[in-house]
Structure 1
Amino acid sequence: MFPPGTDGTQDAGGISGGMAIPTRFVWPYGGNRVFLIGSFTRWTERLPMAPVEDCPTVFQAIYSLAPGVHQYMFFVDGVWRHDERQPHVVGNYGIVNTLILNQEPNPMHSPLIPGAHGSRMNMDVDHENSSVVESNLRISEADIGTSCEHISEFLSTRTAYELLPDSGKVIALDVSLPVKQAFHILYEQGIPVAPLLDTCNGEFVGVLSPLDFILILKELSSHGSNLTEEELETHTISAWKEAKQQLSSQIAIHGRQSQRQLIHAGPYDSLKDVALKILQNHVTTIPVVHSSLQEESFPHLLHLASLSGILKCICRHFKHSRSSLPILQQAICTIPLGTWVSRIGESNGKQLAMLRPNESLSSALSLLVQAQVSSIPIVDETDCLLDTYSRSDITSLAKDKAYARINLDETSIYQALQLRNDANSPHGSFNAQRFQICIRSDSLQKVMEQLAYPGVRRLIIVEAGSNRVEGIISLSDVFKFLFGLP
């Protein structure tokens, strides 16, 4: 991740004749595999950290350092982290911890074991000369505006062609397929959505998504439903889309009526226009379609464009030009981004939706629709994160016709999560990661890189050490912030 020799601070071996000082580094926030990396390893070697005896959630490593200024980070279960309770600065690699060692070595003490009330893990170094540059974590509104303008200009000069992979497949479903078969295909292929093709008219007419299946299951479970489970065998996608037009007058779908016209993009549309189409129409993906000038030929489905793909282009382009975008190094808690619990920061007007594992699956599905979100944090009594339930998880009920055996009101979220884990498809990637987390001091760049990963649509902000949910940042939050949209 980090090229050797690019940091300006001195490493342990870089001072000729300097006395090496044994220094203990501690990561007290748990994990399975924790590594230490820093300027003293030239940002290349990862030093393994071992759990403290009788305290498996605390990791430590001892490394001899020369006097001077050092920067470091922790690599915890594949995620770059820093300890916000220790001195930290904005460095070349985002927010990093920093320490200053005096010329005279200080004897090491026994490790602190965080068992007694109020105890805290610390590194046995002199922090009196260390400086925490908190003021640098905030920039002016003008600098924020300039950074966002640079990104907007970049997206205006790039087209949807840049989203097309070198190789791959895009699966489309014929509208004449039975609904049941269509969702079995989504599950078996491990894909969350699929464009709909009307072969009779030779055009793409829409997208089948997990939201459709959620609405179908809710309709099946409601009293007086005209659509029975047996009819799913023969009830076609086109028939369901017609029924959905009627349902939309009774069920709030994104606060608007369902649209009959396909929302799509052309290969020569700018990335900014593609992103705005996704945001303005409250969808997750839109097909990139190339229409031939010949009337008798079918349109070519090139790709399914998503905000994560566009964000990946932004991260790749500005990876080596961070100085031109100071906003990227800002901690997410210092900019108006995401939805936060009231005790942490001012909300953006939306309520942070969370559920307990003993609540019903029906309540989770209703909240996914009503709150217009892609996933919901599942928390314990102290609001600590346990898991998430996502719209795409609904396709796991296609395995062995589980949807026909369960009652939405009687099945708990915990039981639904077990069904999801048992039915997790080895073919798909959208269920590969259950959820992604970040902490409030993470930089915007780090958050954007996480959200650019395929299948990740939201990051849950947790409190370091306790995993208490503090907020949520979605892909749409990031793009609304970059575009200055409410």
Structure 2
Amino acid sequence: MTMDGASSVCMMGARLLATMNLKTTLQVGKSHDAAVNAIRSFLKCHTSYDAFPVSFRLIVLDTKLNVKKALQCVVSAPLWNSEKSRFAGMLTVLDIIHLIQYYYRTASYDYAATDVETFRLESLRDIERELGVAQPPLLHEHPSSTLYDAAKLLIQTHARRLPLLDNDTETGHEVIVSVLTQYRLLKFISINCHKEIQQLHQSLRKLRIGTYVASPPSELLEGQNPYHPIATASLNTPVFDVVHMFSERSISAVPIIDEQGVVVNLYETVDVITLVRLGAYQSLDLKISEALNQRSPDFPGVVVCTASDSLGTLLQLIKKRRVHRLVVVEGEKGRLLGIITLSDVLRYVIGQVDIGEGVELL
């Protein structure tokens, strides 16, 4: 065979290999899309009631209860207006973050420590108006609503928890039955859609699940934040600076990185709540490195993944352990690349939903 003939054979082989790779890619894509559609059909055929655990407890807080007592028993819970005998919204971690920010701006530590003893849950909305932050919608669903509709409502309102309400047939009053969380919904999928999850081979980055740094290090302009739009902090950052990030961006965790952008830890809203429970308001002036020493010993650690990990792998992880977010890293050292929340995962699984579509607020 001549050299020209050998070159022709090589080119034909390359074209054949490229064609085979394209066919494989298309098959993987079709398999992935079919699995996602099957999961959506599954959610449309099951109700929120189906996702209830076999055994669970429900804590409901009266709006007349003071904040300090509420925090001793729970971080997030439905609120009940005993005067009107009706549902009054949700107490969330972000509510407490707003309260901390309000006290830090307007009062002394001594005043905060005294006032929080009598500050009632019903006054939290006044604090939000004072700070100029958005108030959470008074949303809820019926336990017999489909999981697909419940998931859409969670996405449309940016909520992490959805109260499930029914009516007492005798009195006609509202009854708080349970609370559906993003985690519970995704875990229900991971447990019951095993076959479909095995077909979800496409990478998280390709599916655009999560938030990633806008530019690689090599393309950064002088003075440009290398981690934009992700909020980050260092071990030397004061705790209150991170509290402000929580409140301003309505986020629940901030990656802690070193000078090279390597993820060394994660500071969460629940870490701040721990300080409030201990009455350690002065700790808000501490550096993150010092505040981490007061962290609960049962902290599960930072869950990391890479952008090339698949959606199926992520859902299998949710099945095995209680995961609320994953930090996306790259390189051997683990440089920050992105962050994935359960909201990101749920938004992809459900599909395109217009924000505010069909949402009725009370």
Of the candidates 99, 103, 120, which is equivalent to residue 220 of structure 1? Answer: 103
Q: Does residue 339 of structure 1 match 2:211? A: yes
Of the candidates 65, 73, 85, which is equivalent to residue 177 of structure 1? Answer: 65
Contact 2:305/2:328 (8 A) holds in 1: yes
SS at match of 1:462: strand
Larger radius of gyration: 1
SS at match of 2:279: helix
Aligned to 1:161: 49
Of the candidates 382, 390, 400, which is equivalent to residue 268 of structure 2? Answer: 390
Give distance in 2, aligned partners of 1:386 and 1:475. 21
Q: Call closer, same or farther: CA 1:382–1:245 in 2, change over 3 Å.
A: closer
- Deviation, 1:398, is 3.2
Q: Call closer, same or farther: CA 1:193–1:224 in 2, change over 3 Å.
A: closer
Specify which structure has the bigger relative contact order, considering alpha-carbon pairs within 8 angstroms and separated by 6 or more residues: 2
What do the CA deviations read for 1:382-437 (whole angstroms, capped 9, x no partner)? 1111111112222211343112x33x3x321222222223xx5xxxxxx6423211
Unaligned 5+ runs, structure 1? 1-132, 187-191, 425-430
What do the CA deviations read for 1:328-378 (whole angstroms, capped 9, x no partner)? 112223322211223469xxxx71222111011111111122223221111
What do the CA deviations read for 1:228-248 (whole angstroms, capped 9, x no partner)? 43121112111233x13522x
What do the CA deviations read for 1:25-58 (whole angstroms, capped 9, x no partner)? xxxxxxxxxxxxxxxxxxxxxxxxxxxxxxxxxx
Q: Call closer, same or farther: CA 1:236–1:388 in 2, change over 3 Å.
A: same
Q: Does residue 197 of structure 1 match 2:72? A: no
SS at match of 1:170: coil
Aligned to 2:127: 244
Of the candidates 338, 363, 382, which is equivalent to residue 241 of structure 2? Answer: 363
What do the CA deviations read for 1:253-272 (whole angstroms, capped 9, x no partner)? xxxx314x631121101101
Give distance in 2, aligned partners of 1:366 and 1:400. 20
Which amino acid in the other structure matches residue 445 of structure 1?
G
Of the candidates 223, 237, 258, which is equivalent to residue 135 of structure 2? Answer: 258
TM-score, normalised to structure 1's length? 0.61
- Deviation, 1:449, is 2.5
Q: Call closer, same or farther: CA 1:214–1:181 in 2, change over 3 Å.
A: same
Give distance in 2, aligned partners of 1:138 and 1:229. 61
SS at match of 1:320: helix
Aligned to 1:308: 183
Contact 1:137/1:331 (8 A) holds in 2: no
Give distance in 2, aligned partners of 1:134 and 1:419. 53
Which amino acid in the other structure matches residue 213 of structure 1?
I
Give distance in 2, aligned partners of 1:314 and 1:194. 24
* Count of residue pairs brought into register by the alignment: 324
Of the candidates 415, 418, 439, which is equivalent to residue 290 of structure 2? Answer: 415
Aligned to 1:288: 164
Percent identity between the two aligned chains? 24
Q: Does residue 456 of structure 1 match 2:350? A: no
Give distance in 2, aligned partners of 1:370 and 1:288. 28
Give distance in 1, aligned partners of 2:274 and 2:344. 27
SS at match of 2:278: helix
Which amino acid in the other structure matches residue 194 of structure 1?
A
Aligned to 2:338: 471
Of the candidates 117, 126, 131, which is equivalent to residue 233 of structure 1? Answer: 117
Which amino acid in the other structure matches residue 252 of structure 2?
S
Aligned to 1:148: 36
Contact 1:220/1:229 (8 A) holds in 2: no
Q: Call closer, same or farther: CA 1:266–1:308 in 2, change over 3 Å.
A: same
Unaligned 5+ runs, structure 2? 1-19, 218-227, 355-362
Which amino acid in the other structure matches residue 213 of structure 2?
V
Greater Cα offset, 444-453 or 204-213: 444-453
Counterpart mapping for 1:20-169 below 5 A: 136=24, 145-169=33-57
What do the CA deviations read for 1:55-104 (whole angstroms, capped 9, x no partner)? xxxxxxxxxxxxxxxxxxxxxxxxxxxxxxxxxxxxxxxxxxxxxxxxxx
Contact 2:191/2:319 (8 A) holds in 1: no
- Deviation, 1:153, is 1.6
What do the CA deviations read for 1:292-345 (whole angstroms, capped 9, x no partner)? 122265x4333221111111122222213457xx4x112223322211223469
What do the CA deviations read for 1:110-169 (whole angstroms, capped 9, x no partner)? xxxxxxxxxxxxxxxxxxxxxxx9875676776654443222221111100112111121
Which amino acid in the other structure matches residue 276 of structure 1?
K
Aligned to 1:401: 279
Give distance in 1, aligned partners of 2:304 and 2:21. 23
Contact 1:178/1:237 (8 A) holds in 2: yes
Contact 1:357/1:379 (8 A) holds in 2: yes
* Larger helix fraction of residues: 2
Give distance in 2, aligned partners of 1:264 and 1:162. 17
- Deviation, 1:273, is 1.0
